[in-house]
Structure 1
C-alpha cells in the first residue's frame, strides 16, 4: 500500500505540475500576443486609443480577466497609452525587474501575471506592459487538483481491496503447506508436501522442500542404522568380556588357566579398542571436516609412510608400490591435504586389500599430473557381489562374501570414503574373478 500510494502521489503531482506549467505558458503567450497587437496598432497604424482597445479585444476570442495594457515612454517618464488607471509606483516596480532581459520578460505581480516588452524607435524608448489574472487557468488547476485527489483515493481503495483479495488467494497455498509440514514431524517422516501446481514458484519451493525431506529421512535412517550397528558391535565384545570374567570368578583356578583367561580378555579388549578408535575417526571426519588442517604433501612419501606403519602392525603383509609411472615434474606429486587423515585412508585400503587377498598382498600403483592424482589398490581375493557394491562405503555394512571370511566391523571403507570426499576426490571399486581394484582420484583445484 505504501508503494502504491507513493507511485500514485508521484504521478498525480507530476500531472498537476506539468499542467500548471502548460497553463502558465499558454497564458503568457496570450499576454505576448496582446502586447504585440497593441504595439502594432499604436505605433505602426497610428490608431487612436479607443480603437486600439476595441481591435485588441476583437482579436482575442477569449477575453482576459482584469486585463491592463500600458505603454510607457521611458524618456518622458509618462504613459502613452493605458487601458485603465495604474496604481502608484507600478512602473518603478516593474521596469527595473524586466529591464535586465532583452527579450519579452514574464513577471508575477501579486495575483497578476505580467509581460513587459521594450520597444525602441530612434531615440525613443517605450515599454509595453500587459497584465491580467488567469482565472480560467486557476479554475482548471483547482478542478484538476480535486479530480486527482479523488482518483488517488479511489486508486488506493481499489489497490487495497484487490491487494487483500489476491494476497489472500496467493498465500492460501502457503497456509496449506504449513499445515502439511506441521503434520510431518516427528511421526510421519515418510510423508511429503502436496501442491497441485508444480510449475509455479510455490510448486518449485515444495519440490525443493520435499528433496530436503528425502535427505533428512535418509540421514535419520543412516543414524538409526549407525546406532543399531554400534550397539550390536559393542555388545558382543563387552558381553564376551563380562562372561569370561564371570566364569573365571566362579571358582579358584590354576595360574595357567588365569593366564589363558587374561590373554583372551586382552584380545577382546584390543578388538573393543580398535572399534572405538575407528568410530572416533569416523566421527571426526564428519563433525570436524572444516577444522581439518591442510598442507602440501607428497603422495609418494605418504604411501611409503602408510606402508611402513602398516608393516609394523602386520609383518606378514606384502605391500608392493609401483613407481614406474613416476612423473618428471615432482610438483605433480603435491596434494593439499591433511597428513593424518590421508594416511588413515591409505592404510585402511592397504589393510583391506591384504586382509581379503589370497596371500595377504596388495599391489599399489599411482599416476600424477598437474590436474589430478590417481591411486589404485589391487588384490586377488573373494569377488565382491555387484549387489553389494553400492553399499560397501556405508558404515557397518559387510558383504556376506567377506563377513564370514575375516574379522572386521565394516567401518574402514566408510572412513576412507569420507576422507576422500573432504579432499575433493572420488573413490570407486571394480571387482571380478581376476582382481578387485579400489581407485582414488584426487582433483587439484
Structure 2
C-alpha cells in the first residue's frame, strides 16, 4: 500500500472516530433531553388531572371519556389516583393499567414525594398531591411516541450524514494527498532518469523551506558527492593507466630490442638492469595504490589502537635507510615526556608508517644533501611532527595541487615519482582526525607539519 493510500485511510479513520464520538454525544444528549422533558410533561399532566378531579370536581366518567377519545389519536397520558392507604380513587383505564401500581410504589411516593422510572418503554412519574390537608398519590404514564420518532429521525439523519461525510472525506483525502505528494512523484520521476552517465542532473524543489525541499537539497548534495567521486574515480583510473603504461612500455621496448639480435653480455646486463628498474617502479606504484586503497577504507573498518609516534617514526626511518642507505634522517624532540600517553595517539600503525615514510623519502629525494630533519612536539591535546628539508622547494603555482593524486609539478625533472605519496599522506592524516599543512619556498626547502590528537 502506498503512503498516499495509508494517509488517506488514516485521515478517514481518524475523522470517522471524531464524527462517531460527536454523533454519540449528540444522540445521548438528545435522548436524555427527551427523557427529562417527557418526565416534566408527565408531571404536569398528573397535576392537571388531579386538579380536575379534586378541585374542579369533574365527573370521573367524563375524564375517562376524554382519555379514551384522545387515546385513539395521540399517545394520551394514563393517570391513576390513590390515597395513602392504597385505595384507588380514580383510574383513566383500569382495563389497560400499564403501570399496575403496588402498595410499595405508593409508599415510595409518600416517602420520596416523587418517583420516576420506566415500564418497558413507557415512562412513569409518581407524585404526592396535597388536597385539603390530605395526601394522595398520583401516577402518570405514557409512551413518548413523538419523542422516540424524533430520536429515530435524528439517528437516521446522523447515519446518512456520517456515511456521506466519510465518503466525501476519503475522496478529499485522496485528492489532497495526491496534491501533497505531487512533488514526491516528480522527485521519483527525476531520480529514475539519473544514471551513472548523467550524474549532472539535479532534483528540483530544493529551494523551499519544507521537508520535501530539505529532502531534495539533501539528495542533490548526495549527487554532488557521487558526481565528484565518479569524476575522481575516472581521473584516478586514467592516471593509473598512464602511470602503468610508461614503465610497462619501457620494459617491453627494452626486451624487444634485446631480442632483435645477439648482443654482448654487458649489453644484456644493461637491458636487464633497465628492466629491473622498470619492474621496481611497477612494484612501488602497485604498493602505493594498495596503500591508497587502505587509506580510503571506512574508518570504522580499520583497526585503531594506542600507538607511539616516535616508535613508528623510527621504524619508518629504518625501512627507508634499508632501501636508500645514503638518506639521512635526524629526529629531534622539542620537549621531554614522562609516560607513553604523552607520545601516543589513537591510530593505525601501518598507515601512519606509510605516511611518515613518504614524507621522509620526499624530503631526502628532493634535497641535494639527502637529509631531512623531523621535529616532534608534544602538547596537551596533540602531537606535532614537522618534516623539514633544504631541498628544491615547491613553487606557489604547484603548492595548492600537491595533495591531488598523481599530480606532479616542476619537481618531476629532479626525481622519479608517481604523484601518489603526498595525497596518500593527506588521506591518512585525515583518517586519524589530524591536520597536514605545508610551507615551502623555492630553492630553500619545504616543511610539512602533521598534527595528530592525543589518545
- Bucket of the pairwise TM-score, normalised by the shorter protein: 0.7 to 0.9
Aligned-pair CA distance for 1:328: 4.8
1:220-254 Cα shifts (integer Å, max 9, x gaps): 21111111111111111111111222222222233
Counterpart of 2:267 in 1: which secondary structure? helix
In the alignment, does 2:428 pair up with 1:424? Answer: no
Q: Is the alpha carbon distance of 1:83 and 1:363 closer, same or farther for their aligned partners in structure 2, counting shifts above 3 Å? A: farther
**Could you say which residue in structure 1 is the equivalent of 2:305?**
295
1:401-445 Cα shifts (integer Å, max 9, x gaps): 222111111111222222222222232222235542222233358
In the alignment, does 2:154 pair up with 1:144? Answer: yes
TM-score by length of 1: 0.79
**Could you say which residue in structure 2 is the equivalent of 1:412?**
421
Take 1:261 and 1:366, find their aligned partners in 2: how far apart are those partners?
Answer: 44
Aligned partner (choices 363, 366, 376) of residue 366 of structure 1:
376
**Could you say which residue in structure 1 is the equivalent of 2:119?**
109
In the alignment, does 2:13 pair up with 1:3? Answer: no
Partners of 2:27 and 2:154 within 8 A in 1: no
Counterpart of 1:248 in 2: which secondary structure? helix
Aligned-pair CA distance for 1:298: 2.0
**Could you say which residue in structure 1 is the equivalent of 2:295?**
285
**Could you say which residue in structure 2 is the equivalent of 1:326?**
336
> Aligned-residue CA RMSD in angstroms?
4.2
Partners of 1:345 and 1:419 within 8 A in 2: yes
Take 1:301 and 1:438, find their aligned partners in 2: how far apart are those partners?
Answer: 19
Figure out how many residues of one structure are paired with residues of the other and give that number. Answer: 428
Aligned-pair CA distance for 1:25: 3.2
**Could you say which residue in structure 2 is the equivalent of 1:341?**
351
Take 1:293 and 1:103, find their aligned partners in 2: how far apart are those partners?
Answer: 92
Q: Is the alpha carbon distance of 1:389 and 1:137 closer, same or farther for their aligned partners in structure 2, counting shifts above 3 Å? A: farther
Aligned partner (choices 350, 353, 361) of residue 363 of structure 2:
353
Take 2:79 and 2:450, find their aligned partners in 1: how far apart are those partners?
Answer: 102
1:369-396 Cα shifts (integer Å, max 9, x gaps): 4533333222232332334333322221
In the alignment, does 2:2 pair up with 1:16? Answer: no
Aligned-pair CA distance for 1:69: 5.2
Gaps spanning 5+ residues in structure 1: where?
55-63, 120-124
Take 2:115 and 2:454, find their aligned partners in 1: how far apart are those partners?
Answer: 78
Q: Is the alpha carbon distance of 1:191 and 1:13 closer, same or farther for their aligned partners in structure 2, counting shifts above 3 Å? A: closer
Question: Structure 2 matches for 1:124-163, cutoff 5 A?
Answer: 131-163=141-173
Take 1:274 and 1:158, find their aligned partners in 2: how far apart are those partners?
Answer: 74
Gaps spanning 5+ residues in structure 2: where?
1-7, 64-73, 130-134
Take 1:273 and 1:134, find their aligned partners in 2: how far apart are those partners?
Answer: 105
Is 272-281 or 168-177 further displaced after alignment?
Answer: 168-177
Is 256-265 or 327-336 further displaced after alignment?
Answer: 327-336
Partners of 2:43 and 2:125 within 8 A in 1: no
1:339-375 Cα shifts (integer Å, max 9, x gaps): 1122112221222222223422222223344533333
Q: Is the alpha carbon distance of 1:391 and 1:69 closer, same or farther for their aligned partners in structure 2, counting shifts above 3 Å? A: farther
Take 2:39 and 2:89, find their aligned partners in 1: how far apart are those partners?
Answer: 19
